[in-house]
Amino acid sequence: MKKNKLIFWIATAILIIWEGIMPLGTLLFAPQYVNAGTKPLGYPDYFAYALIICKVLGVIAISYPKTPSKLKEWAYAGLTFNLIFAFISHAMVDKNIGFMLLPLVILAILIICYVYGNKTYGLVVR
């Protein structure tokens, strides 16, 4: 039980940093780079702001222990879709293997977070 909890919180911490703090930090401290990842893919500028807001809210929902389980499920689903579509976008537009693999690595961490969160806290809605 202790091992599962540790794995869950390490994966969650990585998600908090990568999907929450980094985008929010960019928005607050380096706004000129907010759309640096979406503009080359052909997305409009406002899309980057929507992504940041959704990522931060998703990470908060996942990491806050008292979040209702249905909302946690939606947060996991939203982040999953985001990462899958990031991979597809990079695969179709710039074909840079590094940019393509990064969303898949974060997706793997998200899956670990989901699986071990379910084992530890019973997050899945049945």
Q: Provide DSSP, 25-91.
A: HHHHH-GGGTTTTTGGGT--HHHHHHHHHHHHHHHHHHH-TTS-HHHHHHHHHHHHHHHHHHHHHHH
Query: pTM here?
Result: 0.91
pLDDT classification of 126: cutoffs 50, 70, 90: very low
pLDDT band at 120 (very low <50, low <70, confident <90, very high): confident
Distance CA 62, CA 9 (A): 11
Going from the C-alpha of 77 to that of each of 27, 84, 107, the distances in angstroms are 24, 10, 11
Question: What is the pLDDT, as a whole number, of residue 65?
Answer: 87
